[in-house]
Amino acid sequence: MTTRTALLDAAEHAARTRGFDAFSYADLSRAVGIRKASIHHHFPAKADLAHALISRYRESFALSLKSICEMNETAGARLSAFLDSYRSALSGGEAVCLCVAFSTGRDSFQDPVLAELDGFHRDCLAWLENVFTQALQDKSVSGAGAADAEASACLALVEGAQLIARAARDPRRFDDATTVFRGRLVNRN
């Protein structure tokens, strides 16, 4: 584990539990065990850290979506796995996904970071739209409408459910909010 990776991990955890603006280089230095100034060696400005964080997250999320497709055949099973991944990102109701964390504090960011954030959203919506298009064929999602509308609704639902669960520090709120949607998924694989 390199120092750089340790810094990214600590920063991601802090951003997801408290928000990107709510942790300082001093916090990071305590968490990782190097001096505050040394962090600037790895990430000269906090904006550089933000960019590294979101782009690493975007890559790993793309891999995770790919793996969901490999391990699940039907649209219903894929969406169910998608819900699971957002649910597990809550980690006990303490955290939200980095995308939600960055969305809420968007003003602090400049172009390169914003572009990456928008890219993340686009990736995610495109994947969902694909899966909902598939659902129209394989009938594994009951009452499925237009794929693009379903995709937008699905993303808003999971992000809103995360927000509410974290606000209440209770991951069951996520389950409550996604019960109806889960009921629409035909879970054969």
Which partner in DNA, a copy of itself, none is near 85 (CB below 5 to 8 A by kind)? none
Q: Per this entry, what is the length of the chain?
A: 189
Among 47, 81, 163, 186, binds DNA (CB under 7 A): 47
Among 8, 12, 15, 42, binds DNA (CB under 7 A): 42
User: Counting contacts by CB under 7 A, is residue 2 touching DNA?
Assistant: yes
The residue among 22, 21, 13 whose CA lies nearest residue 47 is: 21
The residue among 82, 107, 106 whose CA lies nearest residue 159 is: 82
Which partner in a copy of itself, DNA, none is near 18 (CB below 5 to 8 A by kind)? a copy of itself
User: Counting contacts by CB under 8 A, is residue 19 touching a copy of itself?
Assistant: yes
**Which CB sits closer to DNA, 2 or 137?**
2
Cβ neighbors of 54 (< 8 A, separation 6 or more) are 98, 102, 113, 116, 117, 120
Number of residues interacting with DNA: please give it, by CB under 7 A. Answer: 20
* Tally of CB atoms within 10 A around 59: 11
User: Counting contacts by CB under 7 A, is residue 26 touching DNA?
Assistant: yes
* Tally of CB atoms within 10 A around 22: 12
Q: What is the binding site for DNA (CB under 7 A)? A: 2-4, 23-27, 34-38, 40-42, 44-47
